A = this chain, B = another copy of it.
Amino acid sequence: MKDRDKKSCHIRFEPSGLKVAVPEGATVLDAARKAEVYIGSICGGDGYCGKCKVAINDGQFRTKTTTLLTQQEVRENVVLACQTTILSDMTITIPKSHTLETSQILTGIDASRFRDLAGESDAKAFTYSPLVQKVYLELKAPTVEDHTADHERLNVAIQNHMSTDVSVLQMGYRIMQELPKILKEADYKVTATIGFRAGAVEIVQIEPGDKSKINYGVAVDLGTTTVVAQLEDLNSFETIDTEATYNSQINFGEDYIRRIMYGEQNDAFDELQQSIVKDVNDLIVTLAERNQISLKDITAVICAGNTAMTHFLLNLDSTRIRREPYVASASFIPPIRAAEAGIQINNRGLLYCLPSVAAYVGGDIVAGVLATQANSYEGVSLFVDIGTNGEVVLGNRDWMMCASSSAGPAFEGGGVKNGMRASNGAIEKLWITDDGEIKYKTVGNAHPIGICGSGLLDTIAELFKAEVIDRTGKFQVANDKRLTEGNEGIEFVLVKSEGEHKEIAITQADIDNLIRSKAGVFACIKVLMDMTQITVGDLNAVFLAGGFGNYLNIEQAVTVGMLPDVDMEKIHFVGNTSIAGAKMVLLSRGAQAEAKEIATSMTYSDLMTHPDYMDEFIKAKFLPHTDMSLFPSATSSEFGVRSSETTRPSGD
C-alpha cells in the first residue's frame, strides 16, 4: 500500500470503522472509494453537487472554500469530500445520510478477489445491511404537547434513522411490554435491534444506551462431515474467529442418505436434529467464550448446508430426499427465530439457512456461487465444490446448470485410514523427490498425525507420478519395496511411526475411495459440459471449493483428472465458499436476495438418471482418464512437474 514518493496517511472512517491507507494529497473522496465506504456524489468529484459532505474528526487537511456548506457546517468541520485533500492520518465521519442502509458498500468478503480472478470487474458489490442490525437512537421524552406513545415514538425514530425498506415495523409482544420501562430507565436513549424476516421488519430487542457496536453473527458451513463456524463482527465486517468440528451425525451414517435411512428406521429425526444443533451450539459457545462475547450479543446465525443437512438442522421431513420424486420439504426457508430450532444465541435472534436448488444441490452451493459471483460473469465458469458430495455448477450471468455426484467424504478425510480434516498436524502438502524421498508440510508445522484433503490429492498425484500406482490406481507389482503389508492389506507408508506417533500410510482402499470421488466429480463436470456444449476452451474460470486445507496444489487436481485440463491460471482454489457465502448473507440483505435469485435461476440436472453419467464415471476412474485426449497436458513434458507457487491462500 505504501507509496514510495509520498507519505502514506491512514484514514479511519466512522461509524463503519473501515480503514484505508492513501498517499498524502489524495482526496477524502478517493480514500472513501478505496475503503469502499460509500459517499453520495452526483457531480463525480467536481465540487458542485454538494452531496459528498463528511465531517473531519481529526487530522490535517486542505479544503477549498465553497458556498455549498453552511457556517454551522464549517464550524463543525464538515467538508466536501471531493474538495478536500488529505495531509495526515485522519478520522472522518460519514453522516447518516450516506452511511445508512443504502449506503456502505460491502467489499463482498473475497468476492472482489474472485472477480479479479475471473478477469471481470463489473460484478455487483453488496450494500452493508445485515440480517439483524442494531441502531442507537436518542429519542425525545414525551411531553404534554408531544404525547406520542412509546411504541410509535420508537417506530418513527427507527424509520427516520433507517430511511429505507422499513415502512412497517413489527414489535414482539414481550418487547412492547418491556419498552416503557427500558425507555424510562435509559432516559429514552436506547439501541434497537432490528431483524429482517421475510416481508417483515421487526424490533427484536431494545437495550438501554448505545450498544450498536456490540452486534455479532455466526456464519456456519453445515457440512455433512465437517461443520465450520465463523464469528463475525456485524459492525466491522471482520471475521473474529473460526472453529470447526466433525459433524457428530457421522454416528448415524457417513453420508446423508444413510442418515435419512437411520432416521426413518429408528424414528430418530429428533435425534438427528439434536445432534447437529448441538454441534452448532458447541461451535458458537466455543467462539463466544474464546472471544469473551455474550451469547445474547450474537443476533444472527446463517447456515449454508446441503439440502439434507438443512432439513436435519430444522427437523423438516427429509425422507423424500432419497426417494422419487426427490422432493425437499422447503427450499426457500424464511429466517426463523434461532431459539425455535434450539440454536442458543440471543433469545430473539434469527436463524437463516441459504436456499437450496434441489434435493441434491443445497444452500452450500448457492453460497459458493454467491461468494465467487460465478453467476455474474460474462464468460462461462465452472464451480466445483468437493465435500462429502461433489457439486458442480456451470454457467455465466445468463444461465446456470448444476448437478451433484455422491463423491463421498474421501477428500475430507472420511473413509480414508489416516484421513483427517485440515487441523493441526494434518499433512497438507506432500511430494516425492526424484530420489523417492517423501517430503511433506503439516498444518501448524506440527508432527504429522494424518492427511487432509490437499495432502490426499498430492498423495494420489505423487504416487501416480512416481509409478507406485498405475492408471487404475492399483499398487504396482507386489515386489515394490516401497509397499508394506499393513493390518488393512498392502499400504504405502508416508510417515513412519516415531515414538508415540503412529505411522501414516495410505491403503489400496483409500486410493480407490479417492479415485471414485474424483471420478464422480469429473463425470459430473463432463456430462454438464456435454449437455451445454461447453468445451474446455470455453471455460473462463474454474473455481475449486472445499475444505481441502489452507493450500491446494491446483495442478494436482488436473493431474489426477478431477478437474478438466484448462490453463492453470484459470483454475482458482477458493477454499470454503460455503462459509464465505454465508458470511456475505449475514452482512448484506442484498447478498441474501441474490442467494435467492441464484437458487431460483439455477437449473438442476439429475445425473443419476442421465444415460451418460455412469459411462463417464467409469471412464473417469483412471488417472487422469481413459480418454487421454481430454488431458493433453498429461502427455506434454510439463505435466506433473510440481509448481508449489501456483497454490494460493484459501478464502480465510
Contacts and interface: CB of A to CB of B under 8 A. Distances in A.
B170 A198 contact: yes
A483 B334 CA distance: 73
Interface stretch (A102-110, A123-131, A173-181): A173-181
A167 interface: yes
Interface stretch (A62-70, A77-85, A323-331, A427-435): A323-331
Interface string A452-496: 000000000000000000000000000000000000000000000
Contacts of A168: 198-199
Copies of this protein chain in the complex: 2
A142 interface: yes
A336 B179 contact: no
A244 B296 CA distance: 45
A259 to B, nearest CB: 17
B330 A151 contact: yes
A327 B142 contact: yes
A145 B334 CA distance: 25
A643 interface: no
Given A199-B170, A200-B170, A151 B317 contact: no
B334 A181 contact: no
Interface centre among A170, A174, A315 (most CB of B within 10 A): A170
A606 B145 CA distance: 10
A331 B149 contact: yes
A152 B329 CA distance: 9
A358 B320 CA distance: 55
Nearest to A319: B180
A378 interface: no
Given A144-B606, A606-B144, A329 B176 contact: yes
Given A176-B316, A181-B317, 20 more contacts: A144-B324, A145-B325, A151-B333, A152-B330, A152-B331, A170-B197, A170-B200, A171-B334, A173-B314, A173-B340, A176-B329, A177-B315, A177-B317, A179-B329, A179-B330, A180-B320, A197-B200, A198-B200, A199-B200, A200-B200
13 contacts: A142-B320, A147-B328, A147-B358, A147-B359, A148-B331, A149-B327, A149-B330, A149-B331, A151-B330, A170-B334, A177-B317, A180-B316, A180-B317
